[in-house]
Amino acid sequence: MQIQVGIVGAGPAGLMLSHLLHQRGVESVVLDTRTREEIEGTIRAGVLEQSSVDLMVDTGIGERVKRLGMVHHGIELRFGGRGHRIDFADLTGGRGVTIYPQHEVLKDLIAQRLADGGDIRFGVSDVQVEGITGDRPRIRFTQDGAEQQLDCALVAGCDGSRTTTRFLIPSPNPRQDHFRQYPFAWFGILAEAPPSSEELIYAHHRNGFALISTRSATVQRHYLQVDPNDSVEDWSDDRIWSELHTRVAGAEIKEGPIFSKSVLHFRSFVCEPMQHGRLFLAGDAAHTVPPTGAKGMNLAIADVHVLSRAMAEFFANSDRTALDAYTATALPRIWRAQHFSWWMTSMLHRMPEATGFDLHRQLAELDTVTRSRAGRTLLAENYVGTPFD
């Protein structure tokens, strides 16, 4: 089968790329080793920047996010037993973020691609990409026991943090991997309870960081900083609620039955360049960020916003200028997001080797940020995200 773009991975990057290419008259095939049920059923949190929501609305997949998403115009930084609100609307000209889980974004994209006649191959195996430095790369895979092949003009590696496509770019030349592992993890829970706060609470405490988040009117998502070696069995329900109350001192935390527990490890990663020959990486295949800054899914969407336009220009005019500039165009936003995520993480989390000096320095930094309009604006502008264009 011959196709313009072969896309490996049906996550936010791959599905959004296929959707945007279709709108520009470019056809694609999306491959994923997971079934549709696995993709739509993997529960993941999601905070969408203003530009991500605007893009969904503008391209016809925004009905559910506008109806079901929860718009937040601020967050609370809590330290020293007091809360300090960061007013996004006031500081960014009315912009905000929308709480809308990643799996709901995937449901929207899958439904729209199938309604548009898009080709998504779920549950394939033995995916191999070949010939990316030639004029006609190939993707070999097995579907329903039969070996198949896609002959592509271009290939997009959107296969997430467990990517195989990234390693098709030779290392260490030209591929350079920039990596940092953080010495702590997040312990996440889902609980049946009403919201504890109208907006997210980011809490600094000498015991460690805590995040009071939300999922819906009846289900809440909360996180605690823990040792990376901790397991689900180490944390009883009573211990979880006790520690949340301690770390978010002075704010009401509404309890309820906990029905999900997980441990999320922290890392930062950037692959440079994000392209080689006719292979182009997007999303977690090219970079990952700590969840503190809520940038992961938004970076994936921003990547393919750039990439879809470059690919469309290539097919419309045989012009590789934008394609060749893809990495240089996408990387500045990625590194800004890396800095913001690192800054939020380092300002709010207790490092294992932290001394009294370090804790007081963090409190002084938080006080400086919340006391100064310039500091609050810096945080707000980065959190809601800059426009894609």
Give the C-alpha separation, 30 to 11, whole Å: 10
Omega into 195 within 30° of 0, i.e. cis? no
Give the C-alpha separation, 257 to 358, whole Å: 36
**Cβ atoms 313, 257 nearer than 8 A:** no
Helix (H) or strand (E) holding 224: strand 219-226
Residue 145, amino acid: G
Point out the catalytic residue in the list 19, 72, 305, 349: 72
Asked about 265 being catalytic, the answer comes back as no
Asked about 305 being catalytic, the answer comes back as no
**Cβ atoms 169, 274 nearer than 8 A:** no
Give the C-alpha separation, 122 to 128, whole Å: 15
**Of 50, 102, 44, which Cα lies nearest the Cα of 71?**
50
**Cβ atoms 366, 347 nearer than 8 A:** yes
| Terminal CA-CA length for the chain | 35
Cα–Cα distance list, 292 to 58, 174, 224 (Å): 28, 30, 12
Asked about 223 being catalytic, the answer comes back as no
Asked about 202 being catalytic, the answer comes back as yes
Point out the catalytic residue in the list 100, 202, 223, 326: 202
Give the C-alpha separation, 205 to 223, whole Å: 13
Q: Computed over its alpha carbons, how large is the radius of gyration of the chain?
A: 21
Helix (H) or strand (E) holding 179: strand 176-192
Point out the catalytic residue in the list 204, 291, 326, 349: 291
Point out the catalytic residue in the list 204, 295, 305, 349: 295
**Of 128, 132, 126, 127, which Cα lies nearest the Cα of 170?**
132
Asked about 72 being catalytic, the answer comes back as yes
Which residue shows structure tokens 């080689």? Answer: 276
**Of 30, 15, 24, which Cα lies nearest the Cα of 111?**
15
Point out the catalytic residue in the list 100, 182, 326, 383: 383
Active site residues: 72, 202, 291, 295, 383
